[in-house]
Amino acid sequence: MIDFKKLREQNLAVTKKAVKSSLARDLLAIQAINCIEDIDKVSSILANRLREWYGYYNPEFTKSIHSNEKFSQLVVSMSRADLLKSLKLDEAHSMGADLEKKDLDAALELARNINDIYSFRKYLEHYLEKAMSDICPNTTAIVGPLLGAKLLSLAGSIKRLSELPSSTIQLLGAEKALFRHIRGLGKCPKHGVLVQHTLMEAAKMKDKGRVARALADKISIAAKVDYFKGNFVGDKLKAGLDARFKKK
């Protein structure tokens, strides 16, 4: 007779081992890129709060600077008088209220936290650069680590990315517009997240579709090479694209 209890235990052990070894490194890259997106959301929530809060103390400077990252750095590192001097304004004529030190400290503590979050974002970018050149060197050579990880995240894994036709890769991230088009509403999208690529940014409006198609084509080749661990061809693919689109 079969010993069902023992069979069950052995089965469990085998399954656990299979789960344990199923994690590929591309999943970690996907977590990292999703984390970067979370950080972008989070830092903008907190930076808006800081602008409102610190704006009581120094409204002129708050209005003058657009970048949230620079804003929270400068706020911590320089005094109000120096910041106003850099705008050629006089502290005596400022509309900012004079806060007590303990009140100002709370706002500056928020700025310090925001700075920490921004430097964590840099750390993650650096981590992704290294990880992506291990996981899919060819794809990364063409689109860079951040956009490459974004494509991985949209496809789900390097395996799935390598299986996608280049027309699907071209529209990754534009699913909403694509299905709206299929339902008969709106135009067909020409590109998804690929729009972030430097070649796309440089292209004229009427060329965007062509550039996106060519990019997706090369990415599809690169992803296949990456998944089946072929020789490195990323530089050649990239050089071909550059030669075709960069001089224009």
| Positions that interact with its own copies (CB under 8 A) | 13, 16, 19-23, 25, 27-28, 31-32, 34-35, 38-39, 41-42, 45-46, 49, 52-53, 56, 93-99, 102-103, 106-107, 109-110, 113, 116-117, 120, 123-124, 127, 130-131
Query: Cα(39)–Cα(72) distance, rounded to whole angstroms?
Result: 15
Residue 173, both tokens: 């991230």
Distance in Å, CB of 61 to its own copies, minimum: 15
Report CA 80 to chain centroid distance, whole Å: 33
Nearer to its own copies by Cβ, of 96 and 209: the residue is 96
**Considering beta carbons, is residue 46 or 214 the nearer one to its own copies?**
46
Residue 100, helix vs strand vs coil: coil
By beta-carbon proximity to its own copies, the closer residue of 68 and 166 is 68
To its own copies, the closest distance from the beta carbon of 120 in angstroms equals 5
Shortest reach from residue 17's CB to its own copies, in Å = 9
Pull the structure tokens for residue 73.
Answer: 């750095």
Least Å distance between CB 201 and its own copies? Answer: 28
Paired tokens of 36: 């970067």
State in angstroms the smallest separation of the CB of 105 from its own copies. 8
User: CB of residue 108 vs its own copies: minimum separation in angstroms?
Assistant: 11
Contacts of 25 (CB under 8 A, 6+ apart): 131, 134, 135
Nearer to its own copies, 15 or 198 (CB): 15
140 or 220: whose CB is closer to its own copies? 140
Q: Three-state DSSP class for 23?
A: coil
Helices (H) and strands (E) in the chain, counts: 14, 0
Contacts of 139 (CB under 8 A, 6+ apart): 132, 148, 151, 161, 219, 222, 223, 226, 234
**Positive or negative: CA dihedral 4, 8, 9, 13:** positive
CB-wise, 107 or 241, nearer to its own copies?
Answer: 107
